[in-house]
């Protein structure tokens, strides 16, 4: 089956008289990797389940390629979903788990065995056919669940936090493995995550969600450097905001607030007029591995910055942020200049 585009139009979902998702518009290009990113409870899983057919829409339309799948039951949608819990069937062996989707499609036995073996080989779990799923490690289960989803050549792959049950080291290696696999298959993929680093590393396009709405749809670089508003910026690690002063760099003249990341703020660097500068008293200095994270209390705000050397609390210090690292926001807390409509759909 060839990979297909996915289009969501005005998707709205109510569960128990409560609006969970409202007015979701989204275009996913064929063969692309899209991440749904957002804080807990914002409706990412609900959106993914709606695409798979487990949550009915109150309004709107979902299209896979040219056909509408809005009213199809889950088993007719041909979307392959990997569940956060993996949902491997405990009464079946690894081989039977992988072969079941093929069995449902009436694939003859020999071909099934061959395909299962090939998939296990691809997942680097060759010869695992007769193992029971309870004997597998978390990472192995994850790969079996992925293999089970991919074995039917689905037009669309849906992943619900597939890596969040794994420890940090496996997660990092599986990230690139998963991305490589996705690229080689060219399958349209939507992955839910609440880990911004994961989304930034893997996605072609990130859908930032909040409270049942889409806040921003953008490629990782754009999202990272031009978050749609202050709240989105905070979610993406912009932990410092300062109110604009007249002495500040003359960029984005309508901006009232600047945001910047701690790692871009330097302590006691040589003074430079093109940088945003604040003075304050050091309240805390902690070692972070790459250097020291210094907290300062300035006249208007608490700021954080990085320093190569430790700085004694109580001393005065100067924070400087290069102009390129400043993110300007208008009086309504939205990014300046306004992002074009295409990227900012909500």
Ligand X SMILES: Nc1ncnc2c1ncn2[C@@H]1O[C@H](COP(=O)(O)OP(=O)(O)OP(=O)(O)O)[C@@H](O)[C@H]1O
Query: Which residues would be at the binding site for Mg ion (CB under 5 A)?
Result: 45
Question: Residue 144 or 326: which CB sits closer to other proteins?
Answer: 144
Give, in order, the Cα–Cα distances in Å from 94 to each of 122, 151, 153, 174, 183. Answer: 14, 13, 19, 20, 25
For the bound state, the minimum distance from the C-beta of residue 329 to other proteins, rounded and expressed in Å, comes to 41
- Helix (H, G, I), strand (E, B), or coil: what is residue 209? strand
Q: Say how far apart CA 325 and CA 256 lie, in whole Å.
A: 16
Q: Distance between terminal CA atoms of the chain? A: 33
Binding span for other proteins by CB under 8 A among 6-14, 73-81, 209-217, 318-326: 73-81
Q: Say how far apart CA 150 and CA 101 lie, in whole Å.
A: 10
Exposure of 285 in the CB half-sphere (CA atoms within 13 A):
17
Phi, psi dihedrals of residue 198, rounded to the nearest 5°: -60, -45
Question: Residue 32 or 45: which CB sits closer to Mg ion?
Answer: 45
Contact yes or no for 179/173 (Cβ under 8 A): no
Q: Say how far apart CA 57 and CA 178 lie, in whole Å.
A: 30
Strands 292-298 and 302-307: antiparallel
Lookup: tokens for 83: 């569940």
Is 101 near other proteins (CB under 8 A)? yes
Question: Residue 45 or 293: which CB sits closer to Mg ion?
Answer: 45
Is 89 near other proteins (CB under 8 A)? yes
User: From other proteins, Mg ion, ligand X, none, which one binds at residue 260 (CB under 5 to 8 Å depending on kind)?
Assistant: none
By rule CB under 8 A, what string of x and - marks binding of each residue 150-189 to other proteins? --x-------------------------------------
Lookup: tokens for 311: 């700085």
Binding span for other proteins by CB under 8 A among 78-86, 220-228, 258-266, 267-275: 78-86
Is 100 near other proteins (CB under 8 A)? yes
Q: How many residues bind other proteins (CB under 8 A)?
A: 28
Question: Residue 208 or 285: which CB sits closer to Mg ion?
Answer: 208
User: From Mg ion, other proteins, ligand X, none, which one binds at residue 20 (CB under 5 to 8 Å depending on kind)?
Assistant: ligand X
Question: Residue 194 or 261: which CB sits closer to ligand X?
Answer: 194
List 39, 41, 74, 219, residue binding other proteins (CB under 8 A): 74
For the bound state, the minimum distance from the C-beta of residue 139 to ligand X, rounded and expressed in Å, comes to 21
Q: Which residues bind ligand X (CB under 6 A)?
A: 15-16, 18, 20, 38, 40-46, 194
Question: Residue 55 or 241: which CB sits closer to ligand X?
Answer: 55
Q: Of all helices (H) and strands (E), which one includes residue 168?
A: helix 168-185
List 54, 58, 117, 295, residue binding other proteins (CB under 8 A): 54
- Cβ-proximal residues to 16 (8 Å cutoff; 6+ apart), any chain: none
Taking CB positions, which residue lies at the least distance from Mg ion? 45
Residue bearing tokens 């893997």 = 202
Q: Of all helices (H) and strands (E), which one includes residue 103?
A: helix 94-104
Give, in order, the Cα–Cα distances in Å from 131 to each of 70, 94, 108, 142, 268. Answer: 38, 6, 22, 15, 60
List 16, 17, 18, 134, residue binding other proteins (CB under 8 A): 134
Is 91 near other proteins (CB under 8 A)? yes
List 1, 87, 301, 308, residue binding other proteins (CB under 8 A): 87
Lookup: tokens for 223: 């999202």
Question: Residue 28 or 48: which CB sits closer to other proteins?
Answer: 48
Q: Say how far apart CA 151 and CA 163 lie, in whole Å.
A: 20
Question: Residue 145 or 236: which CB sits closer to other proteins?
Answer: 145
Residue 263 is given by DSSP the state G
What residues line the site for other proteins (CB under 8 A)?
52-54, 73-81, 83-85, 87, 89-91, 100-101, 104-105, 132, 134, 148-149, 152
């Amino acid at each position: 089956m060839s990979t297909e585009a996915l289009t969501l139009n005005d998707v709205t979902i109510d569960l128990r008289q409560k609006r969970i998702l409202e007015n979701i518009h989204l275009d996913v290009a064929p063969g692309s990797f899209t991440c749904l990113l957002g804080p807990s409870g914002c409706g990412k899983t609900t959106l993914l389940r709606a695409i798979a057919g487990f949550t009915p829409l109150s309004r709107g339309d979902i299209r896979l390629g040219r056909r509408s799948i809005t009213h199809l039951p889950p088993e007719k949608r041909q979307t392959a979903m990997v569940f956060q819990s993996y949902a491997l069937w405990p009464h079946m062996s690894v081989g039977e788990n992988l072969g079941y989707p093929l069995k449902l499609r009436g694939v003859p036995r020999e071909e099934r065995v061959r395909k299962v073996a090939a998939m296990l080989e691809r997942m680097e779990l060759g010869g695992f056919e007769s193992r029971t799923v309870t004997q597998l490690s978390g990472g192995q289960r994850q790969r079996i669940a992925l293999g089970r989803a991919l074995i039917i050549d689905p037009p669309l792959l849906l992943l619900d936090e597939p890596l969040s049950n794994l420890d940090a080291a496996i997660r990092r290696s599986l990230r690139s493995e998963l991305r490589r696999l996705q690229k080689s298959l060219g399958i349209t993929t939507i992955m839910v995550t609440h880990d911004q680093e994961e989304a930034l590393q893997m996605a072609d396009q990130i859908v930032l969600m909040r409270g049942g709405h889409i806040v921003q749809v953008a490629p990782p670089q754009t999202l990272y450097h031009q978050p749609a508003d202050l709240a989105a910026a905070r979610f993406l690690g912009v932990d410092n905001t300062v109110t604009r002063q007249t002495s500040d760099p003359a960029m984005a003249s309508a901006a009232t607030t600047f945001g910047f990341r701690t790692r871009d703020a330097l302590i006691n660097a040589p003074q430079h007029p093109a940088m945003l500068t604040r003075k304050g008293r050091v309240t805390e200095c902690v070692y972070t591995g790459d250097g020291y994270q210094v907290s300062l209390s300035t006249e208007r705000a608490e700021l954080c910055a990085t320093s190569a050397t430790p700085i004694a609390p109580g001393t005065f210090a100067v924070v400087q942020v290069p102009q390129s690292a400043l993110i300007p926001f208008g009086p309504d807390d939205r990014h300046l200049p306004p992002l074009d409509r295409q990227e900012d759909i909500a």
